[in-house]
Amino acid sequence: MTYVVTEACIRCKYMDCVEVCPVDCFYEGENMLVIHPDECIDCGVCEPECPAEAIKPDTEPSLEKWLGVNAEYAKQWPNITQKGEPPADAKEMDGQSDKFEKYFSPKPGSGS
Ligand code: SF4
Ligand code: F3S
């Protein structure tokens, strides 16, 4: 199994998660992060750290889409290990629906 970052991260991108991951397996897109499923050691430490509750174990139902997004973009985006500045409107975006369809960006972030 692995943990995955889900839709709730999009345009919230709080980045508290990267500070606690013992194996530095987060990767940064323009407006969300993903977890590399082959690098995650399933420790679960990041899950309660996310203010948007975006991180889930892939044992939860209906996360196949997100496992695919995490696996695909972890190969393309740069590694991130340090928390940066979240988007200015992160709180307004928190909890919105259909964020993938409206806002997902395949562009990479800057990494750290
Ligand atoms: Fe990192 Fe552990 Fe979260 Fe996996 S579950 S991404 S290893 S903190
Ligand atoms: Fe995203 Fe939550 Fe991390 S919003 S960047 S998964 S702390």
- Which pTM was predicted? 0.96
Domains and CATH numbers, the chain: 3-81 (3.30.70.20)
- Give the pLDDT confidence of 21-68 residue by residue, as tens digits: 999 999 999 999 999 999 999 999 999 999 999 999 999 999 999 999
Length of the chain equals 112
Q: What span, in angstroms and rounded, lies between the C-alpha atoms of 99 and 95?
A: 9
Please tell me the predicted confidence (pLDDT) of residue 20: 98
Helix (H) or strand (E) holding 35: strand 33-35
Please state whether 7 falls in left (phi above 0), alpha (psi between -120 and 50) or beta: alpha
Looking at the DSSP bridge assignments, the partners of residue 3 are 57
Please say whether the dihedral angle defined by the alpha carbons of residues 44, 96, 99 and 16, taken in this order, is positive or negative: negative
Q: Is residue 35 lining ligand 1, measured as CB closer than 6 Å?
A: yes
Which mutation among 6, 15, 25 tests ligand 1's pocket best, with the greatest number of atoms within 8 A of CB?
25
Task: Say which ligand is closest to the CA of 20.
Answer: 1
Please tell me the predicted confidence (pLDDT) of residue 105: 98
